[in-house]
Amino acid sequence: MTENTTGSELKPLLITNVSVQNKGLKLPSTNSESGKALSNEKTGTVFGAIANLTNACMGAGILALPYAVSQIGWLFGIIIFILVGLISWGSLQLLMLSSHYEKQYTYEELAKQVIGMKMYVLVKITILTVTALASTNYLIIIGDSLPKVFESFEKTSDTILTSRVFISLIAISLGILPLSLMRKMDHLKFSSSLSFLSIAYVVVVIIYNHSSLTIKHLKTYAFNFDFIQFLTAFPIFIFCDSVHIVSVNVIKDLKKANTKNISKISISTLSSCNAVYIIASLFGFFTFGDKTPGDIIVGYPKHSIPIIAARFVLSIMATVSIPIFIFVARESINVLLFKDKPFSWKRHIVITLSFCALITLLALTLPEVSFISALTGSTCSIVCVFIGPGLLWYKSKRNKNSKKNKTLGMCYIIIGFVIMFISTTAVIYGHVIKKKKN
C-alpha cells in the first residue's frame, strides 16, 4: 500500500489582456474564480482509476502468497482467494461510496468527518504502522535477494557481500537513507511503475520456472488443512488485497463519480489483482510443494540468469520504494505530534534516522517476508479492510435511518475484530513454534 504526498500547490495561470478573434476561440476569464474552476476540472476516467489502484495493490506481498497456498493446499487456496476477494470488494465498495457521499478524498479526513478526531488519530497510527511493516518487508527482500546475486558470482557463500546483515546496513546507509532525507520526494514517483513492472517480471519468472506436477500430486496437494496454518496464512491473502488506504483518492478526480463507476473500479481492480495472485501462487506452489519458502524467490537456483535478474530488480525496486514509505510515515508523525510547528531540518533528520533504525531492527529480528505479510494482514490490513469501512458505513449520516446498511457496517466491524484477534494470535504462535523447530 503507497500514499503519494506533495508539498506544493499548483496555482491557476491567469491570462490577462489577450484577445483571440480568429476561429471564434474564447479564452477563460481573467478572474481568479474561473481560473480555479479550470484548475479543478475533473478529468479522471474509470480505466485510469483501475490502473492506478491495480498499480498500488500489486506489491511485495505476492512473494509470500505461494507459501500461504502451501499452508492450506492449492484448491482450498483458490477458494480463499475468491472469498477474500469478495469480502475485500464489499468493504472497498463501502469505503469508496462513503468517500463519494461525504466528499472527502483521503482515508484520514473521511474518518475525521464521519466519526471524529479519535478515528482520525487511529487511522494515522494505522498508516504509520503499515508504512513501518511495509518498509521492513522490502528491506527483508533486499537482505534476501542481493546476497544471492553476489553468491552467483562468488566461489563461496561465506563472504561479506553475501552477509544479510551487511547488505541490509549498506542498503540503508548508501541508498535508502540519503533518498529519505530529502525534503520532497516528487522525483521518486516513478517507483510505483517500477514496482509494478518488477512484480510483473517476477510473475513471468515464476511461471517460466515452474515444475509440472502429476495428477496424483495435484490430488495430494489440493487440501492441506491445519487450523493454525490456515489462521497464519489467511492474513497474507488479506494483506495482498488491502488497497483501501489509497482507494478514496481516485474518486476526487473522477469525471463521472457514481455508484456504477465506483462498483466497476472496485471489482475490476480486485479481480485483475487476484487473477495475477492466483497464477503466481499456484505456479510457485507447484514448483516447491510443501517446501515452498516464505519468499518464493529465495527457493530458486542461484545461478539462473532470469532468477539473478529478478533478485536484482526486486532489490532496486525495494530500495527506491522504502523512501516513499518513510516520507508518508514522517508526514503522519509531523501531523500527529508537530502539526503547528514550522519545518525543522533537525526534526526531519531525527525522525528519518529513527524510522530507518526501527525498520533495520525489525528486518534483522523478523527475517521472513511471510511473517511480516501475515502480521501486517492480521493487524493493520484488518483495520483498513474490515473495521474502518464498516465503521464509516455504520456512522454515515446517509445510512442513519437505514437498518440494512447499518447492519452491514456492523457485520464488517464484528468480523474484523474477531479475525484480528484470532489471526494475530495464530501468526505469533505459529512463528514461535516454527522458530523452535528450526
Q: What CATH code is carried by the domain that includes residue 297? A: 1.20.1740.10
Is residue 34 included in any domain, yes or no?
A: no
Tens digit of each residue's pLDDT (9 = 90 or more) over 150-187: 887 766 567 787 788 889 899 999 889 988 888 765 55
Considering only 104-118, 157-171, 202-216, 269-283, which range has the smallest mean pLDDT?
Answer: 202-216
Is residue 49 included in any domain, yes or no?
A: yes
Structural domain count of the chain: 1
pLDDT band at 191 (very low <50, low <70, confident <90, very high): low
Is residue 7 included in any domain, yes or no?
A: no
Is residue 351 included in any domain, yes or no?
A: yes
* pLDDT value at residue 30: 40
* pLDDT value at residue 358: 93
Is residue 413 included in any domain, yes or no?
A: yes
* pLDDT value at residue 212: 61
Considering only 35-39, 337-341, 429-433, which range has the smallest mean pLDDT?
Answer: 35-39
Considering only 259-263, 305-309, 385-389, 430-434, which range has the smallest mean pLDDT?
Answer: 430-434
C-alpha cell at 389: 469501512
pTM of the model: 0.74
Tens digit of each residue's pLDDT (9 = 90 or more) over 11-39: 333 333 333 333 333 434 444 444 444 34
CB 309: neighbour CB atoms within 10 A? 14
Is residue 109 included in any domain, yes or no?
A: yes
Considering only 12-26, 266-280, 336-350, which range has the smallest mean pLDDT?
Answer: 12-26
Is residue 11 included in any domain, yes or no?
A: no
C-alpha cell at 303: 545461478
* pLDDT value at residue 33: 44
Is residue 20 included in any domain, yes or no?
A: no
Instruction: Flag whether pLDDT at 137 surpasses 80.
Output: yes
Domain that includes residue 75, residue range: 42-437
